[in-house]
Structure 1
Amino acid sequence: MRRKQIALLVVRGAAAITLMASTVMLAGCADADLPQLERVLADIRQSPGGQPPSMTVAMPESRDLTYLYSDGRSPFLPPEAIAQGGLNRNEGALAPDQQRTPEPLEQFPLQELRLVGTMQMAGRQVALVASPDGNVTSVKEGNYMGTDYGRIAQVSAQEVRVIERVFTQREGWQERQASLVINTGSAH
């Protein structure tokens, strides 16, 4: 019996402590400036409505500018190249044959072409290349593809290696290596 009385006292004591702690915590939420805030909000609610004030800033009137130096020296060319009249696109040991009839895959950038397969034909490795227009074209070593005069140097089971020719004003015609790979179908 005594245990029941002790347990009842412990429960009542815990409830009293909880009630006091809650009261102290709620008292901390009271703010002395709350009535002032309520007055300000009441004033705002009573003020007439309407459109908020415009926040646009007047922009100054723009005028067209004319670039006066477009016929001048290019800042990207060395002075000696300009003195020589620049580089001619049709000259140089690496200049592509401009008279050659372009092949079908030369109208697409190399990055847009996909290698979809390879096969042996008459003892030669042949690559099957898909173009963005949906056509698949068979190519072999010596054929051209890409917009940078890319000549196919090698066709293997997984890759087509291409040597492209690109023109720069500074160095003239230069060769660069690129390839189409069958597993990713992308140019490297």
Structure 2
Amino acid sequence: MIKFKPAIIAVSLLGVSACSQDISDLQTFIAQTKSSHVGSVKPLPQFKPYESFSYSAGDLRDPFVATVDLEEDSDTVTSSINPDQTRPRQPLEVFPLDTLSMVGILEQGDQLWGLIKDPQNIVHRVQVGNYMGQNEGRIVRITESEIDLVEIVPDGIGGYIEREASIAIGGE
């Protein structure tokens, strides 16, 4: 360690002497930069004074309260049509009916199957009694050109109605 003592002192003196370098060029650059970049701030815009608003419609009718009492007809017959919630769902019931397309039929003897393509381009074989579409669409007839269904849809007053629908071959 004693051998390296003069070398350590020499390196330390060299490092200290480097710190005393002339930095006048740096000071000149800073002075020029400060003098050339004089910024200006736009004045604040003039704001209009606040004008208070007095609400004068407080004594008028509440728009969220019905003015006419809507009485339900006692003559309305409750519909006996209801979707079967306990029935196991079939694969084509997850797709809306308008996204399914009929691509053909299969026939063996007197048995006729329809071929339905879903939005994922998977072809499914269906027969009378199968369900498809999101409205409980039960297949009631299959022909060479179309598949007829009966859907159970809400009637808008708390019940359900049956609605006929069909998918034609090649139709989307």
TM-score bracket, shorter-length normalisation: 0.5 to 0.7
Secondary structure, in 3 states, of the residue corresponding to 1:120? Answer: strand
Letter in 2 for 1:185: G
- Provide runs of 4+ in structure 1 moved above 2 Å: 168-171
Q: Which residue of 1 aligns with 2:98?
A: 111
TM-score by length of 1: 0.51
Question: Offset at 1:79?
Answer: 3.0
Decide which of 161, 169, 172 is 1:174's aligned counterpart. 161
**How is 1:27-42 mapped onto 2 (pairs within 5 angstroms)?**
none
Matched residues, number: 110
Question: Offset at 1:123?
Answer: 2.4
Decide which of 107, 110, 126 is 1:120's aligned counterpart. 107
Question: Offset at 1:134?
Answer: 1.6
**Structure number with larger C-alpha Rg:** 2
Secondary structure, in 3 states, of the residue corresponding to 2:93? Answer: helix
Structure 1 residues 4-36: Cα deviation after superposition (integer angstroms, max 9, x where no partner) = xxxxxxxxxxxxxxxxxxxxxxxxxxxxxxxxx
Do residues 80 (structure 1) and 72 (structure 2) align?
A: yes
Secondary structure, in 3 states, of the residue corresponding to 1:111? Answer: helix
Do residues 155 (structure 1) and 147 (structure 2) align?
A: no
Partners of 2:97 and 2:103 in 1: CA distance: 14
Write 1 or 2 for the structure with the bigger share of helix: 1
Tell me, yes or no, if the aligned pair for 1:162 and 1:178 is still in contact at 8 Å. yes
CA-based RMSD of the aligned residues comes to: 3.1
Partners of 2:108 and 2:119 in 1: CA distance: 25
Letter in 1 for 2:91: P
TM-score by length of 2: 0.55
Unaligned runs of 5+ in 2: 1-47, 49-62
Decide which of 60, 80, 87 is 1:100's aligned counterpart. 87
Partners of 2:134 and 2:121 in 1: CA distance: 18
